Amino acid sequence: MSDQTNKRLELPAMITVRELAQKLNVSAINIIRKLMENGMMVTINQSIDFDTAAIVASEMGYEAIPEKVAEEEEKETGELPLWRKLIAQEDPNSLIPRPPVVTILGHVDHGKTTLLDAIRNTNVAAGEVGGITQHIGAYQVELKGRQITFLDTPGHAAFTAMRARGAQGADIVVLVVAADDGVMPQTKEAIAHARAARVPIIVALNKIDKPNANPDRVKQQLSENGLVPDEWGGNTFIVPVSAKQRQGIEDLLETILLVADNSEIRANPKGKVIGTVIEAELDKSKGPVATLLVQNGTLKVGDVVVAGLAYGRLRAMFDFRGRPVQKAGPSVPVSVMGLNDLPRAGDIFQVLASEKEARQVVLERQEAAKQQAVAQKKMTLEELFSRFKAGETKELNLILKVDVQGSLEPILNEINRIPTGEIKINVLYAETGNVSENDVMLASASRAIIVGFNVQADATARRLAETEGVSIRLYEIIYRLTEDLEKALKGMLEPEQVEKIIGRANVLAVFNISKGGKVAGCRVVQGEVRRNAKARLLRNGEVVYEGDIASLKHEKEDVREMREGFECGIGLRNFNDIQVGDVIECYLLEKMTKD
C-alpha cells in the first residue's frame, strides 16, 4: 500500500475528465462516478480544476503535484505516447533527425486557420496554390532546404482525441494568441493540453497590425500562465505575426526549426513502420480514404497496414498536393487507399507481413472489445424489478432527452406522477436534443437508462452505448413512455426489443425504376445487408428514414443477403428521397434475453 501512495502525478491547473482518466490509467467512467459521489455531475470532455482532480487522484493512490513543481524538479517520467514507446525500441545509432510535426492551438477567432493558410500560401509557389485541391489534414512546407509538417486540424479537441488513443501527432505546438485580445479561456485550455502532452510551446502573437494591439500586456498574461518570454529570461519563444498581412511567417518557421534542433525529433527511415491516423473519410468513388502520418520507417504502396480495427493492402498513396507517390518517410503525411474500413483519428498504424496476420490482429482486437462489452452488465428496465429484489438497486436513474423545451415539463410531470413504491425514480439529467456521446458516458457512470421522446440517438452514441452497456429507449407517445416506466417498477414489463446492427452500405448511385420509385446502388462496406431486415438511412450523420428494406438485388437478380465488399441495389419501403453519399444501416430487432 505504501508503494501505491508514493506515486506522484503531475497535473495542470485545469484538466478534462478524459485526460485525467488517461493519466490515472483508468476508465473515464470511474472518474465520473467518483465525482458524482462527491456531488459533481460532469461529462467526459468537461474540465475540472487541480484541487478536484487531486482529490480523485488521491482516492486512487496517487499524490497530485502542480505542473510548475514538476517542472522545477525536471520530472521526465511522464507517460510516453504508444508510438514513442515503439520508436524507443529502435537502435539509437540508426536514428536520424526528421522534420518536426507542428499543430496549431489557441482560442476561437484568434486566427488559427488564417495562420495555417498564410503559412501554406507563403511557402507554395503562386502557380501551385490553385493546384492544392485535396485536403488531407496535413501538409509540408520548406524553409532553407528543411521540411516542416503542419497538421491542418486546429483545435485542442482533435489534438486530445489523438492523445486519448496513445498517439500524439505533434512534436511542437504553436499557440496562437491575438495581440488585441490576450489570453482567453480556450488559450488556457490549449496551454494545459500542450503541457499534458509534454511538447514545446511556441507563441504566435497574431494580429500585431491592429491599432489596439498590446503585445506587452499579452506577454504579461502569458507569464502568469507559466509561458515566460525568452526576452524576459524565460524559455518561451514569442513571435509577432500578422496572418492577414502575411507578416512574420518566415520568423515563425525559423523559430520552429530552432526549437526542433533542441528537441529529440528523430526516427529510423529503415526501421519498423509506425505512425498515426490523422483523419479518415468515406469517399463515394474511392471507398475508405485515410490520412496517415509516418513517424518511423518508410511506408510504401503495397504494404499491409493495420490501424485500429481497419486493415488492408495499400493500393495507392498521394501527397498533400494530390500527387501519386510510391513511398513516404518519417514526418511525411500521405492520403492512402486500400483499407477495408475507416480507422479513427489518433489510431496507431503499423505495417505487418501479410493480410492474414493483419486480419488476425483485428479479430483479436474485436474480441477484446466484445469481452469488455460483456463484462459491463447492462442496466435495463426489464431487469429493474429483479435487481431490486436481489438487493442490487433501490432506484431507477434516468437521463431524459426530448425534442423541444415544450415537451420537457409535461413529461417530467408525468414521470413524477408515477407511483414509485419502494423503488425511487431519479431523473439525473433532462434536456432537449438528440442522444449524444456525453449522455451515454453519464448514463454509464451512473448506471442510468436513457429515455428519449421524439429524438434520435446518433451513430456514435449508439456504438458507445453498446460498448458501455447502456440502454437507450426511444418513444413517440408520452403515455407509452410512462406506461413502460410504471410496468418496470412493478416487474411486469415484457422483454424489450433491441436492435442489432448487422451491416452498412454506402449509396454510390441512385436509379429511377419503371414504377416511379428509386433504388440505391450501394456497396456493402461492413457486415451484410438482408432483405428481411430493418433499415435506417443516414445523411451527414442524421437519420432521415427508418423502415423496411423493400427490395435487394445483385445485378438483376433478387437476393436474400449481400455481404461486405459486394455491390447491390436496395429499395426502401415507401421512401424515394435517396441521395448519393447517404449511408444505409441495416439492423434486426431482437427480444433481449435476461442473461
Residue 521 dihedral angles phi and psi, to the nearest 5°: -85, 115
- Comparing CA positions, the residue from 495, 465, 489 lying closest to residue 593 is 495
Q: Return the half-sphere exposure (C-beta side, CA atoms, 13 A cut-off) of residue 145.
A: 0
**Domain shared by 558 and 576, yes or no:** yes
**Domain shared by 113 and 230, yes or no:** yes
- Which residues, other chains included, contact 267 with Cβ-Cβ below 8 Å and sequence gap of 6+? 87, 90, 95, 96, 98, 295, 296, 297, 330, 331
Q: How far apart are CA 112 and CA 243, in angstroms?
A: 9
Q: Is 90 a domain residue?
A: no
The last residue of a domain, from among 472, 494, 516: 494
User: Which pLDDT score, from 0 to 100, does residue 129 have?
Assistant: 40
- Comparing CA positions, the residue from 456, 472, 464 lying closest to residue 539 is 456
- Comparing CA positions, the residue from 57, 51, 55 lying closest to residue 20 is 57
Q: Where are the alpha helices (DSSP H) in 99-154?
A: 112-123, 126-129
- The 8-class DSSP code of residue 145 comes to T
**Domain shared by 41 and 182, yes or no:** no
Angle, CA 488 vertex, CA 486 and CA 493 arms, to 5°? 110
**Domain shared by 107 and 254, yes or no:** yes
Q: How far apart are CA 258 and CA 284, in angstroms?
A: 43
Helices (H) and strands (E) in the chain, counts: 18, 34
**Domain shared by 391 and 369, yes or no:** no
**Domain shared by 336 and 444, yes or no:** no
Q: How far apart are CA 165 and CA 330, in angstroms?
A: 20
Q: How far apart are CA 531 and CA 534, in angstroms?
A: 8
Q: Which residue has the cell 474500413?
A: 341
**Domain shared by 170 and 108, yes or no:** yes
Q: Is 83 a domain residue?
A: no
Q: What is the CA radius of gyration of the chain?
A: 27
**Domain shared by 385 and 406, yes or no:** yes
Q: Is 94 a domain residue?
A: no
**CATH code, domain with 405:** 3.40.50.10050
Count the domains in the chain: 5
C-alpha cell belonging to residue 330: 518519417
The last residue of a domain, from among 231, 264, 297: 264
Q: Is 86 a domain residue?
A: no
- Which residues, other chains included, contact 349 with Cβ-Cβ below 8 Å and sequence gap of 6+? 274, 275, 276, 277, 292, 305, 306, 307, 343
Give bridge partners of residue 291 from the DSSP assignment.
279, 335
C-alpha cell belonging to residue 434: 438528440
Q: Is 230 a domain residue?
A: yes
> What is the domain range of residue 431?
381-494
**Domain shared by 458 and 508, yes or no:** no
* Contact call for residues 176 and 144 (beta carbons, < 8 A): no
- How do beta strands 583-591 and 497-512 pair? antiparallel
Q: Is 84 a domain residue?
A: no
- Which residues, other chains included, contact 288 with Cβ-Cβ below 8 Å and sequence gap of 6+? 280, 281, 282, 310, 337, 339, 340, 341, 342, 525
**CATH code, domain with 131:** 3.40.50.300
**Domain shared by 260 and 283, yes or no:** no
**Domain shared by 253 and 365, yes or no:** no
> Which amino acid, 583?
V
The last residue of a domain, from among 374, 395, 427: 374
User: Which pLDDT score, from 0 to 100, does residue 249 have?
Assistant: 92
Q: How far apart are CA 409 and CA 339, in angstroms?
A: 48
Q: Is 416 a domain residue?
A: yes
Q: Residue 453: helix, strand or coil by DSSP? A: strand
**Helix 405-417 and helix 478-490: axis angle, to 10°?**
30
**Domain shared by 166 and 188, yes or no:** yes
- Comparing CA positions, the residue from 162, 157, 120 lying closest to residue 138 is 120
- The 8-class DSSP code of residue 302 comes to T
pTM above threshold 0.85? no
Q: What is the mean pLDDT of each successive set of 10 residues along the chain, which is 595 residues long?
A: 55 80 82 79 75 82 65 41 66 88 84 84 49 61 90 59 57 91 80 73 93 92 87 89 90 94 88 88 86 93 93 93 92 93 85 93 82 54 57 73 81 79 75 83 77 86 80 85 78 61 92 81 92 88 86 88 92 90 88 49
* Contact call for residues 309 and 341 (beta carbons, < 8 A): yes
User: Which pLDDT score, from 0 to 100, does residue 316 have?
Assistant: 95
- Comparing CA positions, the residue from 287, 314, 253 lying closest to residue 119 is 253
CB atoms within 10 A of CB 503: 21
CA 89 remoteness from chain centre: 28
Residue 366 dihedral angles phi and psi, to the nearest 5°: -65, -40
Q: Which residue has the cell 445485378?
A: 555
User: Which pLDDT score, from 0 to 100, does residue 285 have?
Assistant: 83
Q: How far apart are CA 99 and CA 141, in angstroms?
A: 10
Q: Is 92 a domain residue?
A: no
**CATH code, domain with 533:** 2.40.30.10
Q: How far apart are CA 104 and CA 175, in angstroms?
A: 6
Q: How far apart are CA 36 and CA 41, in angstroms?
A: 6
CA 236 remoteness from chain centre: 30
User: Which pLDDT score, from 0 to 100, does residue 422 have?
Assistant: 66
